[in-house]
Amino acid sequence: MSFIRKLKRLMHKGGVKLGLIKTNSLRAITDDPRIKVPAEEYDRIRATKRYYQDNLDKVDYWTISGPKKRPLNSINMIKQVSQQMATLMFNEQCSIKVNDQALQSQLDEILKNTNFYLDAEMNLDPWIALGSGAVRPYVQNDQIKLSWANALDAYPLEANTTHVDQIALSRRIQKVENDVAVYYTLLEFHQWGNYQQDDQGNVYRPYTITNELYRSTDPNTVGDQVPLDSIDEYADLQKQTTFQHLKKPLFAFYRNPGANNKNLVSPLGMGICDNCRTTLDDINRVHDGFAWDVKTGYRRVTIPRSWMRRQSNMNGKPVPDDAQMYWDPDDAVFVPINARTDDTSAFKDLSIEIRVDQYQGAMAFFLKELENELHLSEGTFTQTPTGVQTATEVVTNNSKTYQTRSSYLTMFEKTIDQLVYAIAELLATPELWSDGKPRWNGDIDKLVITPDFNDGVFVDQEAKRASDLQAVQAGILPKKQFLIRNYNLSEQEADRWLKQVQDEQSPTPPDQEMSMFPSEGGGVSGQEDKPSADAETSGPTR
C-alpha cells in the first residue's frame, strides 16, 4: 500500500472519530435498509451450507473416563445430489444460440474465454444446494468477464416477487494488517431509477451501480464503510455509475424451482435438500453407527495374565510388578485379566458380530426416502437395475429424474437468457470501451436466445433420429433442420452438407460419363487409337 493511501486512511479514520465524516456501519449485510429479504432467510442458507460443506456437529459418547466427542462419520448427500443434478443439467456439450450472427460470433468468443461451459456446471452445484445464485458480466481491459456469486453473496432488493431485477452482490477479501486479520466486504448495488424522458422524447429508467467497501476485524460483522481505494483490488472502482438507456439488468439471477415454503414472500429459492434434513440426519446416523461398529468391533480375546509375556525392564530399569507392561504392548487383540485362578476358563472370545444386514437395510430405506423427497427416480442412490438396458429402458427408468431436471432447467434457462441480455447490453454500451465505440448495434428486443442443453442419456438418440427422418420424408421437417438437430451442425455447416449431397446426386454430363469408361480398343473413349512408336519401327510379328 502506498504512503498516500495510508495517509488517506488515517485522515478518514480521524474524520470519523471527530464526527466530521459520516459513515455507515453494518453488523450484517441484511441490516442495510435497501435489502428487503428477511435475515432469517440467510440463517437458513447458512445452516444448509454447513451440510453442504459437511461441517456437522460432533457426536457425544461416554467412556469409562467420562464424556467425549468424536467427528461424525457422515455421507455428504447434499453435495452428491447437487453435483449430480448440475451434471445432468449442464455440461460441455451444451450450447447457446442467438438469432443475430454478429452477436453470436462475439458471444461464442466470450463464453470460450471465460470458460463458461466449465464454470457453469461447477457453480450450478452450490446454487442448487443453497437454492439461489447470480452471475454478473463486466468489462475489464476491453474484455467481458464473469463474476459468480452463491446464495450467501446475492441479496435481492425486493421481496414478494420471484422476478429479481435489483440486487446487491457481495464479495469478501481477507488481509493481514499489522499482524491482525482484516476483512473487507464489497457491496455492489444494482438499482433501477424512476422513469424519465430524454431530449428526444424517449422514456427510460436510469440504471445505477453503486459500490461500497466495508472493513472489519471481526469475521462475523461487515464493519464500517471505508473508501474504495483502501485496498488495491478496488482502487480503480467508481463509487457510482449510471446508465441511461439500458433495457435489461447487468446480472443474471438463479433460483431453484418450487415455492419457498419457509418464507412465502422471499425471492430466494429453497435448497434442494432443505425440506429433507431429517432424512439426511438419519442417513448420517446409520452410516456413523455402522462405521463405529466396524471400529469398535475388532477382535478381542481375554486370557490369563500368566499367558502374557511380561517385560521385566525397560530402558535399563526394572518394571514394577503392578505395572502392566506386556509383550507385544501394541497388540490390541489379547487382553489380560486378573483371574483368581490361572486356568483356561479365562480364555474367552469377546468379538462382536457386526450388523451388516441391518445397517444395509436401514440405509436402503432412508435412501429411498431421500429419492422420494427429492422427486428422483428409484435407483438413483439405491440398488440400480442389473443387466444391459436399452436407451428406451434408461429413459423409462429415469422418467421421474427427467421431470425434476426439466423443472430445474426451466429456471436455469431464464438465467442464461438474463446473462445473454446483460452481455448484449455491455457490448452495446460505448462508454465501457476504451475507444468509445459499441461492439454491437443490434436490437436487444428482437433477440431470440435458444439454449441447447443436450438431453444426453434421457433421450434415445437413435429413436429421435429415426423420428426426424420420417418427418423429413413426410415433408414436414426441412433437411437442413434435420442435420442441425441430429448432427449438431451449425447453419453454415448444414448448408455445405446439403450442397455436397446435391453435387453428388446431380446427373453427370454424357461426355464426362463416357470418359470414365475404357473403349473397345482398350483406350479411353473420345481419343483416337494411335499405334505406338514401337509398332511403327518394328516389323510384322512373325
Q: Is the peptide bond before 328 cis (omega within 30 degrees of 0)?
A: yes
Residue 404 host element (H or E) = helix 399-427
> 338-383, pLDDT tens digit by residue?
555 555 566 677 777 888 899 999 999 999 999 999 988 888 887 6
Give the DSSP H or E segment for 288: helix 277-296
pLDDT, tens digit, for every residue of 383-420? 655 544 444 454 556 678 888 988 999 999 999 999 99
Residue showing cell 440486487: 167
Is the per-residue pLDDT at 162 higher than 90? Answer: no
Examine the pLDDT at 510 and tell me if it is beyond 60.
no
- Which cell numbers in the block locate residue 165? 431485477
Q: Measure the CA angle with vertex 115, ends 110 and 117; round to 5°.
A: 100
SS3 of residue 98 by DSSP: strand
Q: How far apart, in whole angstroms, are the C-alpha atoms of residue 531 and residue 511?
A: 24
Considering only residues 325 and 153, tell me which one the structure prediction assigns the higher pLDDT: 153
* Closest among 397, 385, 384, 371 to 460, alpha carbons compared: 397
Residue 139 has pLDDT above 90, yes or no: yes
Indicate the average pLDDT of the chain.
Answer: 83
Q: Are 173 and 231 in contact (CB under 8 A)?
A: yes
Buried/exposed 220-246: b ≥16 CB within 10 Å, e otherwise: ebbbbbbbbbbbeebeeeeeeeebeeb
The pLDDT, as a whole number, for residue 533 is: 46
* Tens digits of residue pLDDT in 461-500: 566 778 888 888 888 888 888 888 778 787 888 889 988 8
